[in-house]
Amino acid sequence: MNTEDKIRQQLAENPVILYMKGTPDMPSCGFSAKAVAALKSTDIDFAYVNVLASPFIMEKLPDVSDFPTFPQLFIKGEIIGGSDIVEEMLANGELLPMLESATA
């Protein structure tokens, strides 16, 4: 399985997945920490991939998502955005309903 197929499989198998630097318990950058904090505040389970431990995914994901930076949040296989977008969606009330409908 090539890297792009692996990414597409992860997206298909996980309704909510965050590609981040580090892990939810130990983010390795401030932006990943912000995205994790926003997601954790919703109490919705999410999968994650530590792109620092998966350099091929880190290299290929921007081609798949057409989004250049990390973290990258996907809901139901669609790119939502990075930490600023996730925080904004949490603040304006858009994030929780999207997460709930994805995991229902």
| pLDDT tens-digit readout, 51-88 | 999 999 999 999 999 999 999 999 999 999 999 999 99
Domain positions in the chain: 3-103
| pLDDT tens-digit readout, 21-31 | 999 999 999 99
Q: Which CATH superfamily groups domain 3-103?
A: Glutaredoxin (3.40.30.10)
Nearest to 74, CA basis, from 25, 9, 3, 26 = 9
For residue 104, the model assigns a pLDDT of 87
Q: Is the pLDDT of residue 35 over 90?
A: yes
* Cα 31 to Cα 100: distance, rounded to the nearest angstrom: 23
| Mean of pLDDT over the chain | 97
Rounded to two decimals, the pTM is: 0.96
